[in-house]
Amino acid sequence: MEGRHTTPKHTAAPSGRTGMRAATAQPRRTAETPTQRQTAPERPARVREAQTIYRPDDERAERKERLAPRPEKKKRPSAAGMILRDILLVGIILVVFAFFHHVLPRITARNTVIAPKSTVVSATTPPPAETSGPAPVQQAVPENEEPPEETQEPLPEEVDLRTEWQKRFADKFTDEVIRTADSYSSPDVAVSISTYSGEYKGYYQTYYVADIYVANIENFRTRFANDQFVYYGAQDAVALSKSADAILAMNGDYCNNQRSGFLVRNGDVYYDDALTFDLCVLFHDGRVETYSPSEYDPQELLEAGPYQTWKFGPKLLDEDGKAMTSFNTTTEIIYEEAPRSGFGYYEPGHYCFVVADGRQNHARGFVLSEFAQLFEELGCTRAYNMDGGASSVLTFDGSTYNKPSGYRQLGDILLIAEISGVSREEEGTA
C-alpha cells in the first residue's frame, strides 16, 4: 500500500561464530525505531565470557592458604651482634676452664693434708760412733799390793759452748733479750729493721730491710698455713706468725698452690721433681744457692742436705752478686710496678728480708730489675724473689710492720724464732 510506512522484519541473529560473522557483515543501520531501542544491544562477536566452574575443594584450599601464617624471613645478624656472640662464647669457655682447672681442684683437695716424703739429715752432722766387740774387763787389784796413789788431774779448761755463728757475730747477740719497736736481740737471734722512704731510681718508694743474724740454722724456719701442707691452704699473716711464735716473719712463695716441683721445708721433703723456673735452697750449713732449671739435679741436691727450698722466683743476683738483667719468669712479674718481697743472703748465719710497699701514694712499687739492684746495693751475694702484690707482708713481734696494698691470706711464711726455750713473755725492753 502506497504511502504506508512499513517496518522491515528482523530475523534472529544466528548463534555461534557463523552468526557473529553474519552480524558483522550486515549493512549499517539508519535510524532506530522505538522497538529497536527497547531491544538489548548485542555483544561484540570478539568478546567471549569465560565459563567458571565452581569447585568447593579449591575454595577451601585457597582460603586455608590465605589464612596460613607466612614464614618470616631470617634476618642476617649484624657484625656487632656476631662479635658480641663470639665474646660471650669465649667468656663461657674461660669460665668453664677456670672452674675445672682452679676452683674444682681447690674444693676437692682443700682438706687433704700432704705429708712429707722423707726428712733430710744435715750432711755436716756426723753420725754417732758405733761400738763393737765385748765390753772391757776390769782387772782385779791383788790384795797385797797397795793401790796406786791418786794423781790429781788438772782442772779442765773452760769450754766455749757458743756456736760458730755466735762467735763470728758476737757483737750482734746479747746475753739478755732486748726488744725495741724495730729490733730484737738475744743470745741466739739479732734482728733490726730499717725503713727507707724517698726517691729511688727516680720514683718515690718505701721499703723495709730486716737485717738478721742467727746462732743456729733452726732459728730460721718456715711454716705452712694452719701448720699443715694443704693444697691452697691459707691463713691470716699475723695469725700465722703468732702461731709459730715468730719474732720476724715474711710471706713466702705460696708453694701449696702446686702439686709438683722441688719442695723441702724444715728438712722435710715434699716434692723432689725438677722445675722449669729458678730454685732457691738454704742448706743445713747455712749456705744459700740459687739455681736456674739447667743448673741443678734434684737427687744431687738431696744428697747435699737442703734445709729449705723456694720455687717462686726468679733469682735476682748472678754468681758475682750483681743484679740480673734478664729473668726466668713471666713478663707481668718483670715489668709490673708492684709491692715486692725478697730473701737476701750475705754469709752463713747472716740474712735479710726485704719488703717493698707499692700501688699506693707513698710507694710506687718496684719493677723486678730495680728490686734486683736494691739487693746488689745491700751487699747480698744471693737474692731471690718471693710472692708479691697484696701478699707482700712483713710482721714483727706479732703485728704487721709494712703497709700492704691489700689483704690476702698467705699459704706459708719465712720466720725467725727462738729455739732455746727463751720465754717471749720474760723479754726485756730497751
Question: Cell triple for residue 42?
Answer: 548485542
Higher-pLDDT residue of 31, 60: 60
Higher-pLDDT residue of 139, 240: 240
Question: Cell triple for residue 227?
Answer: 701448720
pLDDT digits (tens, 9 = 90+) for 180-198: 999 999 999 999 999 999 9
Q: State yes or no: pLDDT of 332 exceeds 60.
A: yes
Cα 340 to Cα 62, 63, 380: the distances in Å are 82, 81, 17
Residue 282 pairs in a beta bridge with 288, 308
Question: At a CB cut-off of 8 Å and minimum separation 6, what does 105 contact?
Answer: 231, 232
How far is Cα 228 from Cα 394, in angstroms, rounded to an integer?
A: 21
CA-closest candidate to residue 334, choices 358, 311, 359, 368: 368
- What is the helix (H) or strand (E) element at residue 79, kind and residue range? helix 79-98
What is the reported pLDDT for 106? 62
What is the reported pLDDT for 71? 63
Instruction: Provide the b/e sequence for 170-183 (b: ≥16 CB within 10 Å).
Output: eebbeeebebeeeb
What is the reported pLDDT for 1? 47
What is the reported pLDDT for 30? 52
What is the reported pLDDT for 258? 83
- Taken in order 259, 345, 190, 238, is the CA torsion positive or negative? negative
Question: Cell triple for residue 189?
Answer: 737471734
What is the reported pLDDT for 198? 96
Question: What is the percent of the chain where pLDDT is above 70?
Answer: 71
pLDDT digits (tens, 9 = 90+) for 70-111: 666 666 778 888 888 889 888 898 888 777 766 666 666 555
DSSP-assigned letter for residue 259: S
Give the pLDDT band of residue 11 (cuts 50, 70, 90).
Answer: very low
Cβ burial, residue 326 (10 Å; 0-12/13-18/19+): exposed
What is the reported pLDDT for 217? 98
What is the reported pLDDT for 247? 98
Q: State yes or no: pLDDT of 401 exceeds 60.
A: yes
What is the reported pLDDT for 4? 46
First-to-last C-alpha distance (Å) of the chain: 171
Task: Determine contact, residues 263/255, Cβ cutoff 8 Å.
Answer: yes
139 three-class SS: coil
pLDDT digits (tens, 9 = 90+) for 354-385: 999 999 999 999 999 999 999 999 999 999 99
Q: State yes or no: pLDDT of 323 exceeds 50.
A: yes
